[in-house]
Amino acid sequence: MEEIIKKIESYNILNYLLPGIIYILLAKYYIGIDIYHDNVILMTFIYYFIGLIISRIASIVVYPVLEKWKIITFSQHLY
């Protein structure tokens, strides 16, 4: 378990695990879907996986919409 935690970078923890935990908690209280298991390793994997899915959906759907509305623009400066 410690080796897995060492391999997961802080970037992955903040961008995948935390949104997964927040989504599961919001789904429990607002939608009524309770995803719970006694195994901590399994729940960590579920949180991480759901956070990963949320990240992919945001990069595929949300980003092009924001770019089309010109909320996000790229700089034209090259190094």
Mean pLDDT, 10 residues at a time, over the chain (79 residues)?
71 85 92 87 91 91 88 74
First CA to last CA distance, the chain: 42
**Side chain identity, residue 68:** K
Q: Please, what sign has the CA dihedral across residues 35, 19, 10, 74? A: positive
* pLDDT for 52: 93
Is-above-0.75 flag for pTM? no
Rounded CA gap, 57 and 61, in Å?
Answer: 6
CA 23-24-28 angle, to 5 degrees, is 115
